[in-house]
Each structure stands twice: as structure tokens, then as C-alpha cells.
Amino acid sequence: MKEYAVGIDVGGTKIAAGIINRDGEVTSCFKTRAHSEKEPLFVIDAIENAYFALIDDCGIDPVDIEGVCIGFAGTVNGPEGLVLISSNLPAWHKIPLRDTVANRIGRPVILENDTNLCALGEYHYGAGRGSKNMCYATYSTGFGLGIIIDGQLYVGATGTAGEIAHIVVDVGGPPCTCGKKGCLMAYASGVGLSRMAYEHIDAGEDTLLAQYATPDKKRIHGSCILEAAKQGDPIANEIIETSGYYFGVGLSIIAQIVNPELIVYGGGLTRLGDLAFEPARRGLRESIQPQLLDSFELKPWQLGDEAGVIGAGAMVFNKLG
């Protein structure tokens, strides 16, 4: 039984790789944004480079590493090692990411959805410790859901359980990156925030957000929208309020379908603070069956940006050693 695992968290804008020990501690880490918004070949190169940069820096002999787990921001069939599609990164369609990376780095690799790994990390080492039925909701570039039932990660028949981002909540609504209309992700995500920003900019409305617009509609990040809101921009405040409200609607869906005792929430957009979470609480109250409002506890993540990397390590130890 080996002491260490490598976790690689591939998000829409950042790759974080870390060495994790059996106590859930990240002993060494490496981060890059080289792959941001690029196509699969660039992303795979960035994953490979992140792995070797981490190994070169950590001072640990690779023979002491149990294995590698990649958490990917997309719809993943883990047992087959495939990324089926990603709403956060372009041109992914049934890409055999697990085996491609394993061949490049010469190590056993596990592939799983990134939010599922955050759920595992929080369950074993963070805000979910002591729970039995827990969900983890990520409010970030996308909107993800990881489900723990009776202490086990639930992934469904094809490994795609928890794809809450693409539940339609506004029939005939705005386009989503998945090709449908009115999905939750079209509002409650970094992608959704940017979509709404361009909607207002294209309508010619007076907003500070116009300074971030590009002809090819490159994503306007949540931090930029938050800064505009803090400067009193009413459009930015309206966008954050709408996004937060729909995040609350998403929480109500989780509570009603899964009936967990605990929902842990995390992700980069938690940094929007009460500008988003006051309307989120309202969206939750207004959308949930009243009898279920007190059926679960709602907690923020404890592991922060390391949740996915730590969860990836937990999966390696559970599956390989």
C-alpha cells in the first residue's frame, strides 16, 4: 500500500494537480491556466505537463505513488474512461481521456467528473464528514452536482448522474452551451453570467461590463462582473442576482430529488458573496416544497479550491489501494 496519490482537477479555466497523502493532505501542488477555453489536444498536453511538473517539484519517487485520478469538468463515463462532452471546454466528444493520459505518463489513471470528486473530498475530509447522504453543489464555470448515498458516490448507469446543469428550468429560454434552451447552467454558472452580460451589452445598455467585451464574445469572468457590481453598476448587480436566484432553484431541485441530510456548496462563484447568496436563499425558499425546506442542512465547503484534488486522491486510495 503506497502513501501518495496524484489528483488532477481539470476545470474550465484552471488545472490544479496535487500530491495527496492518506490523511487527505496536499503535500505539493501545481496550477496552470494554459488550457483555458482551448480544444482537447491543448488540454491533454496541459494535463501531461502539469503531472510531470508536479512530479519534478515534489521530491517523491513515482514508485511511491498509488495512481492518478483526473477530475474533468464535463459529462464523463468514468468506467469507460471517456469524456462525453463538456459545456466548459470546446470540442469534447467521446474523447478517451483516461487511456490517452495513462499512455503519456505511464501510470494507472482513473477518470471521474470533477464535481463528483469534490463531493468525495468534502465527504471524507471536509464539511461532509459524519454524514451518510450528502450532495455537493459547485457554483463555478459550470453548475455541478456530486451525490453521496449511504456513504458511496452515486454515478448512475452510465456514470453521468448529477448533471443538474442541463435540467431545463426556463422552457424556450436562452441557449445553453449543451445545445438546448433554458438550462439551469444558462443562468447559474460563470458561463451563464457571461451570457447574460453579453445580452445586456448587445442590447446597447449602459454598463461597465462593456469594457470586458470582445468581438468573439470571449467569456467575461465572474470576478469582472463582481468588480462592476461593487462599483455600483446596476446591470452587473442584476446579473449576479439572477444567477444567484437560479442557483437557489438548483438547490431546491437537489433537495427534492435526492433528499440528502446535507448539501455542501462550493466553487469559484461562492466569492460573489451575499450579492448572489441572498437571492439564492430566496430562490430556494420559493422553489422548494415547503415541507422539505428544513429537511437538510446547507453548508459551505471546507476544503476550498483543493476539494477536487483531495477527492481525486481519495478515489485513488479507494479504488487502487
Residue 159: which pLDDT band, with cuts at 50, 70 and 90?
A: confident
* pLDDT exceeds cutoff 90 at 90: no
Same domain, 264 and 315: no
* pLDDT exceeds cutoff 80 at 321: no
Residues whose CB is less than 8 angstroms from the CB of residue 90 and which lie 6 or more positions away in sequence, other chains included: 37, 38, 39
Number of domains in the chain: 2
* Full residue range of the structural domain in which residue 68 is found: 4-114+305-320
Instruction: Let me know: does 163 contact 146? Beta carbons within 8 Å.
Output: no
Same domain, 241 and 269: yes
CA distances from 142 to 139, 155, 164, 243 (A): 6, 18, 10, 12
The C-alpha angle with vertex 144 and arms to 141 and 146, in degrees rounded to 5, equals 145
- What's residue 80's pLDDT? 93
Q: If 0-12 CB within 10 Å is exposed, 13-18 middle and 19+ buried, where does residue 59 land?
A: exposed
In a domain, 164, yes or no: yes
**Burial letters 69-89, b for 16+ CB under 10 A, else e:** bbbbbbbbbbeebbbbbbbbb
For residue 186, the tally of other CB atoms under 10 A from its CB is: 28
For residues 23 and 286, give the distance between their C-alpha atoms in angstroms, rounded to a whole number. Answer: 40
Same domain, 161 and 140: yes
Phi, psi of 52 (to 5 degrees): -70, -35
Same domain, 181 and 276: yes
In a domain, 122, yes or no: no
User: pTM of the entire structure?
Assistant: 0.93
Same domain, 42 and 90: yes
For residues 315 and 123, give the distance between their C-alpha atoms in angstroms, rounded to a whole number. Answer: 12
Same domain, 208 and 103: no
Q: What is the pLDDT of residues 193-248, one digit of tens each?
A: 999 999 999 999 999 999 999 999 999 999 999 999 999 999 999 999 999 999 99
Residue 112: which pLDDT band, with cuts at 50, 70 and 90?
A: very high
- Of 19-28, 84-93, 124-133, the range with the lowest mean pLDDT is 84-93
Same domain, 18 and 60: yes
**Burial letters 188-226, b for 16+ CB under 10 A, else e:** bbbbbbbbbbbebbeeeeebbbbebbeeeeebbbbebbb
In a domain, 120, yes or no: no
Residues whose CB is less than 8 angstroms from the CB of residue 249 and which lie 6 or more positions away in sequence, other chains included: 169, 184, 188, 283, 284, 287
The H or E element containing residue 225 is helix 222-230
In a domain, 121, yes or no: no
What value does the mean pLDDT take over residues 262-289?
97
Same domain, 190 and 64: no
- What's residue 320's pLDDT? 85
Partnered with residue 154 across adjacent β-strands are: 147
Same domain, 63 and 212: no
Same domain, 174 and 280: yes
Q: What is the pLDDT of residues 169-190, one digit of tens each?
A: 999 999 998 899 999 999 999 9
- Of 17-26, 81-90, 160-169, 294-303, the range with the lowest mean pLDDT is 81-90
What does the radius of gyration of the chain's CA atoms come to, in whole angstroms? Answer: 19
For residues 236 and 210, give the distance between their C-alpha atoms in angstroms, rounded to a whole number. Answer: 11
Q: Is 320 helix (H, G, I), strand (E, B) or coil?
A: helix
- What's residue 317's pLDDT? 94
In a domain, 123, yes or no: no
Same domain, 88 and 179: no
In a domain, 124, yes or no: no
In a domain, 249, yes or no: yes
* CATH number for the domain harbouring residue 146: 3.30.420.40
Same domain, 139 and 62: no
